[in-house]
Structure 1
Amino acid sequence: MVSPVSIPLTFFREFSSGQFESQRMRIAIVGLSIEIMLASPVPTTWDAIQHYTGKEMSEGDVWMVRGMLARMAEDGDVEAVPLYWATALPGGPLELSAYREVKDRTLALIDEHGPFDGMLIANHGALEVQGLDVDADTDFIRAVRNALGPDVPIGLSLDLHGDMTPELLDAATVISVLRTAPHRDDRQTGYRTADQLIRVIRTGITPKKSVVSLPILVPGETAVTALEPAKSLYGALPEYDSVPGMMEANILVGFAWNDRPWTAVSAIAVSDGDAEVARAQATRLAQAIWARRADFNLKMETAEVRHGLRLAVECAERPVFVSDSGDNTTAGAAGDLTLVLQAALEDEQVRDIVIAGITAPETVRRLVQAGVGSTVEIELGSEHLSRPKTAYRVNVLVEACGEELVLPGFQPYRSREGAWAKVRSGNVIATFHANAIGITTPHHFLAMDIDPTMHKAYVVKLGYLHPQLEDISARHILLLSDGTSQLDMTRLQWNVLPRPTYPLDKDFAWDAQARIYGD
């Protein structure tokens, strides 16, 4: 059984007689935060999940949870009870057995360590489970709601790339969503969620919630919050928050790659009890988003694969980071494609470049077995799953390898990765991995004996750069590469998504009042 940790603090509840009763406000924390891409050919298994006990949550500086704990620690009348949190690198659909195990563990801990005055949930919002025909975040949070009963308030934190459903909105009491992409505000988001929940518990208010669903597909790379239109739309949210009677407004841009009925942009407003305020602000926010729908396009530097590689190595500044956006493992792609590596090897002018994070378990097995210093012939593309296999043979020198990649402290997704190998072929360095990996920080390179700043260019299987790489990059080039996470929504197959939806359909009428739900 996963052990929780209680952080005991005491408050005094006043009776009508003027007497005081010593009592704790107990708030638990749980969550299942995984972003799923339905088109990814590799399912997310139990072994891919990293599990955090209550003790690890309280001590581990964990995503979203750290902000929740920080807010609760400010008040001497709150007992924070972290129970269990599970996460994984984005990937293909979560296996049903793994999902049921996580949900069952969560519900058992709630039953064992309750009752609670409130519950905080740190989820993502784009969870999909094999064989589950409903939104999986909705299923998980409704199960928590059923375990708690109707009267215990729930504060929900979500990634901005998540989706919303009427049932999910009904199960939660208050909601906070990330407001930055790349994500730099998970602490603040967790803090805001806890702050709202504590206010609900203290005052006894019944928040009113409204959501307007907008039929727009917005891949994350077109909604970077340092660039328009996301910069202005997210930047305006504090003004919505400040409207009298409002608690918080938020935007979910949705998970654009999944062909699901709930894939959409969501404008969310929660008031402190006035349904009309919530409806008015959700409608106003939705209309502002709709007016900018045509502006959701790539604003960062982009290039086709071969041209982008040339640009990167010819740049006078270093390091240049290059995104293989079509095989973006942090969006759920399998990371199995070697198309960019093959292009680099075929171009003699592409020198001093590192191409990191290729998923190839059989290749890794052979390289690790051969050992450091060995020269091995490998076949690039033999392990392609996302796209057709190729037959590109190359001799590589094994420069470093290991059965496990260990990263310091809390890392996005996982702090321990599987077997890996770093190889060199001429002027190109590449890293292969037994499991899909998100190369999102300098620590990933250092752990493989690669200096993250001294080479001319680094190719990573990302879209936009994650913060720690963005902070050290002299330049960023996004490759318009092929793969399951490619960014042209019109090239994907849509069977279930409600139509019309922009930009698949352009000229159609839209009415916010026809797409509103909630209180």
Structure 2
Amino acid sequence: MQKVKILSIDIFKLRRYSMRIALGGIGHESNTFSPLHTTIEDFDVVRSDGLLEDEVARFLIDEGVEVTPTIYAWALPSGIVSRNAFLQLEGELLKALESAGRVDGVCLFLHGAMEVEGIGDGETHLLKQIREIVGWRTVVSVALDLHGNLNPQLVEYADILTAYRTAPHVDVVETRLKAAKLLLNSIKTGIKPISTIVKPPVLLPGEYVVTSIEPAASIYQSLEEIDRKLGVVDSSMLVGMAWADTPHAGASAIVVSDGKNEGEAYEAACKLAKSYWDKRREFRLEVEAGEIDEVVRIAKNSTKRPVFISDSGDNVTAGAPGDVPIAIERLLDLKVRDAVVAGIYDPEAVQLCRKAGLGGSVKTSIGGKIDRVNGYPVEVIGRVVNLIDGGAVLRVDGIDILLASRRRGWTSLDIFREFGVDPTERKIVVVKLGYLTPDFRRIAKLALIALSPGCTNLVVEKLRYERVRRPIYPLDKDFSWEP
């Protein structure tokens, strides 16, 4: 009798492109305290086949999926998004999705803290429109930023919600791939997940919840244990975006179930939210912090170099304009002679430097042109030591000021190289950030945080909130909470 050899074959891969998944997203972190207004010109957009070069698209294609690209639009964090900009981008994404016809799943890259003029929560609005096109049987998976402010209503329109587990973020691609893998598994197995959100009333700036230090480290490590629970597909803990005066601002615990164990998932989400709440008073900044004069003196007297100072109140990566010149003023007043400030958004000053030419002398006022509440222009006389496309380096009494004609996120060494500055050769490096990015952590011999004024003030009690739900910590201190 002839023996029959049984082969284990993935029928799905054998039938090339038997599954269709739409890919896209609109990402923005909106700071409602920022004087900026986010317009269509602020967004970078990848369209159609450009999306097929994304890591997630390549993964899905390798798995035999027909990827249907829509658009992926994102902008540097800033003020609320104009209604026209959002509706234009949303309309383009929805039109591409509608033109695609039947899809088995939708994989989206969103932030979670997009606030739209006259609309409010942009993510929920978008997901609701997507559901109207694809129907309720199609699986929708969303990758989110850890600093998203989630509307609990999101779970009505998205089956899978998963967020970064690191701050600073080093798992962006990993999280997006996870969203795609969870989506793929759901379609293959026919098991439709259900996401649960529980929101502890905590509104902390991200700088207080760095995931590599306690108590955040233990909380984020516990997610792996939650994921192993029976019926749990995935879990996330979002810190939220503190500089958004919106009804859903603050932390969110998410647990995604396999659709059969929703009760257990809700219980796990409650425990996760409670663990975050219980530790609320223990979250702290990872480095020494103080008023700007104090940290400048510490940096000046330190034997270490370079010393990085975060000008945290004017953090461009959290939506601030990046033109508050208080750091320049204090460095000059305290007679620091070896420093670089990265940087100041001031197109007028850049233009004057360009007019003066390399080596030319410039007398001008720097900064304070957009955020007029938290800083005034600083009068300086300096020499132009470098000119680049869209920027200039103005040296004032030994302080190199990086001037930009457009807002920049001062997050990498590449930007310093672009301006022709080596931060490792300077005594003090001021960056308009909160916590340092991985690039700067590698070279900083000492890191300090200046508790400077601005629309990303780390002391959130100094900001005027009117729309956040109350009570909420730390705006309110003495109250109890149970999920």
> Which bin holds the TM-score, normalised by the shorter protein?
over 0.9
- Say how many residue pairs are matched: 474
Could you tell me which amino acid in structure 2 is paired with residue 438 of structure 1? G
After TM superposition, give the deviation of residue 254 of structure 1 in Å: 0.9
Give, in whole Å, the separation in 1 of the partners of 2:368 and 2:57.
47
- Relative to structure 1, is the Cα distance of residues 310 and 58 closer, same or farther in structure 2, using a 3 angstrom cutoff? farther
- Are 1:327 and 1:484, in contact at CA under 8 Å, matched by a contact in 2? yes
Give, in whole Å, the separation in 2 of the partners of 1:212 and 1:358.
39
| 1:357 paired to 2:351 | no
Could you tell me which amino acid in structure 2 is paired with residue 469 of structure 1? F
| 1:473 paired to 2:444 | yes
Question: 2:401 — aligned with what?
Answer: 430
After TM superposition, give the deviation of residue 294 of structure 1 in Å: 1.0
Could you tell me which amino acid in structure 1 is paired with residue 181 of structure 2? D
| 1:120 paired to 2:107 | yes
After TM superposition, give the deviation of residue 381 of structure 1 in Å: 4.4
Deviates more, 1:368-377 or 1:121-130: 368-377
- Are 1:319 and 1:456, in contact at CA under 8 Å, matched by a contact in 2? yes
Q: Deviations over 1:314-373 (max 9, x none)?
A: 43333222100000010001111001111111222x122100121112222222232222
Seq. identity, %: 35
- Relative to structure 1, is the Cα distance of residues 391 and 109 closer, same or farther in structure 2, using a 3 angstrom cutoff? closer
Give, in whole Å, the separation in 1 of the partners of 2:439 and 2:15.
48
Q: How does 1:325-404 map to 2 (within 5 A)?
A: 325-348=312-335, 350-387=336-373, 390=376, 392-402=378-388, 404=389
Question: Which of 45, 67, 77 is the aligned partner of 1:51?
Answer: 45
Question: 2:34 — aligned with what?
Answer: 40
Q: Deviations over 1:58-108 (max 9, x none)?
A: 33xxxxx53x33542552x32233331111110011111111111111111
Could you tell me which amino acid in structure 1 is paired with residue 312 of structure 2? S
SS in structure 1 of the partner of residue 425 of structure 2: coil
Q: How does 1:118-517 map to 2 (within 5 A)?
A: 118-132=105-119, 134-273=120-259, 274-348=261-335, 350-387=336-373, 390=376, 392-402=378-388, 404=389, 419-512=390-483
SS in structure 1 of the partner of residue 305 of structure 2: coil
- Are 1:357 and 1:438, in contact at CA under 8 Å, matched by a contact in 2? no
Question: 2:57 — aligned with what?
Answer: 69
- Relative to structure 1, is the Cα distance of residues 109 and 435 closer, same or farther in structure 2, using a 3 angstrom cutoff? same
Question: 1:410 — aligned with what?
Answer: none
Give, in whole Å, the separation in 2 of the partners of 1:388 and 1:306.
16
Question: 1:100 — aligned with what?
Answer: 87
Could you tell me which amino acid in structure 1 is paired with residue 433 of structure 2? L
Could you tell me which amino acid in structure 2 is paired with residue 175 of structure 1? L
SS in structure 2 of the partner of residue 270 of structure 1: strand
- Relative to structure 1, is the Cα distance of residues 420 and 275 closer, same or farther in structure 2, using a 3 angstrom cutoff? same
Could you tell me which amino acid in structure 2 is paired with residue 332 of structure 1? G
After TM superposition, give the deviation of residue 426 of structure 1 in Å: 1.6
Deviates more, 1:160-169 or 1:440-449: 160-169
- Relative to structure 1, is the Cα distance of residues 391 and 79 closer, same or farther in structure 2, using a 3 angstrom cutoff? closer
After TM superposition, give the deviation of residue 384 of structure 1 in Å: 4.6
Give, in whole Å, the separation in 1 of the partners of 2:444 and 2:100.
46
SS in structure 2 of the partner of residue 111 of structure 1: helix
Q: Which runs of 5+ in 1 are unaligned?
A: 1-9, 15-19, 60-64, 405-418, 513-519
Give, in whole Å, the separation in 2 of the partners of 1:186 and 1:469.
18
After TM superposition, give the deviation of residue 398 of structure 1 in Å: 1.1
- Are 2:346 and 2:366, in contact at CA under 8 Å, matched by a contact in 1? no
Give, in whole Å, the separation in 1 of the partners of 2:294 and 2:247.
38
Could you tell me which amino acid in structure 2 is paired with residue 188 of structure 1? E
Could you tell me which amino acid in structure 2 is paired with residue 483 of structure 1? G
- Are 1:333 and 1:484, in contact at CA under 8 Å, matched by a contact in 2? yes
SS in structure 2 of the partner of residue 42 of structure 1: coil
SS in structure 1 of the partner of residue 385 of structure 2: strand
Give, in whole Å, the separation in 1 of the partners of 2:464 and 2:378.
29
SS in structure 2 of the partner of residue 294 of structure 1: coil
Deviates more, 1:321-330 or 1:290-299: 290-299
Give, in whole Å, the separation in 2 of the partners of 1:434 and 1:40.
18
- Relative to structure 1, is the Cα distance of residues 266 and 276 closer, same or farther in structure 2, using a 3 angstrom cutoff? same
Give, in whole Å, the separation in 2 of the partners of 1:236 and 1:382.
44
- Relative to structure 1, is the Cα distance of residues 388 and 452 closer, same or farther in structure 2, using a 3 angstrom cutoff? closer
- Are 1:11 and 1:22, in contact at CA under 8 Å, matched by a contact in 2? no
Give, in whole Å, the separation in 1 of the partners of 2:248 and 2:391.
37
SS in structure 2 of the partner of residue 435 of structure 1: coil
Q: Which runs of 5+ in 2 are unaligned?
A: 1-8
- Relative to structure 1, is the Cα distance of residues 144 and 472 closer, same or farther in structure 2, using a 3 angstrom cutoff? farther
Could you tell me which amino acid in structure 2 is paired with residue 430 of structure 1? I
SS in structure 2 of the partner of residue 154 of structure 1: strand
After TM superposition, give the deviation of residue 265 of structure 1 in Å: 0.9
Could you tell me which amino acid in structure 1 is paired with residue 158 of structure 2? A
Could you tell me which amino acid in structure 1 is paired with residue 121 of structure 2? D
TM-score under structure 2 normalisation?
A: 0.94
- Are 2:323 and 2:368, in contact at CA under 8 Å, matched by a contact in 1? no
SS in structure 2 of the partner of residue 449 of structure 1: coil
Question: 1:516 — aligned with what?
Answer: none
- Relative to structure 1, is the Cα distance of residues 149 and 476 closer, same or farther in structure 2, using a 3 angstrom cutoff? same
Could you tell me which amino acid in structure 1 is paired with residue 67 of structure 2? A
After TM superposition, give the deviation of residue 386 of structure 1 in Å: 4.3
Q: How does 1:7-26 map to 2 (within 5 A)?
A: 12=11, 23-26=17-20
Give, in whole Å, the separation in 2 of the partners of 1:21 and 1:421.
56
After TM superposition, give the deviation of residue 149 of structure 1 in Å: 1.7
Give, in whole Å, the separation in 2 of the partners of 1:321 and 1:110.
46
- Are 2:16 and 2:65, in contact at CA under 8 Å, matched by a contact in 1? no
- Are 1:337 and 1:387, in contact at CA under 8 Å, matched by a contact in 2? no
Give, in whole Å, the separation in 1 of the partners of 2:117 and 2:263.
39
- Relative to structure 1, is the Cα distance of residues 73 and 345 closer, same or farther in structure 2, using a 3 angstrom cutoff? same
Give, in whole Å, the separation in 1 of the partners of 2:374 and 2:109.
37
SS in structure 2 of the partner of residue 236 of structure 1: helix
After TM superposition, give the deviation of residue 175 of structure 1 in Å: 1.5
Give, in whole Å, the separation in 1 of the partners of 2:48 and 2:319.
27
- Are 2:324 and 2:368, in contact at CA under 8 Å, matched by a contact in 1? no
- Relative to structure 1, is the Cα distance of residues 208 and 455 closer, same or farther in structure 2, using a 3 angstrom cutoff? same
After TM superposition, give the deviation of residue 489 of structure 1 in Å: 1.6
After TM superposition, give the deviation of residue 389 of structure 1 in Å: 5.4
- Are 2:208 and 2:284, in contact at CA under 8 Å, matched by a contact in 1? yes
SS in structure 1 of the partner of residue 423 of structure 2: coil
CA RMSD after TM alignment: 2.0
Give, in whole Å, the separation in 1 of the partners of 2:60 and 2:400.
47
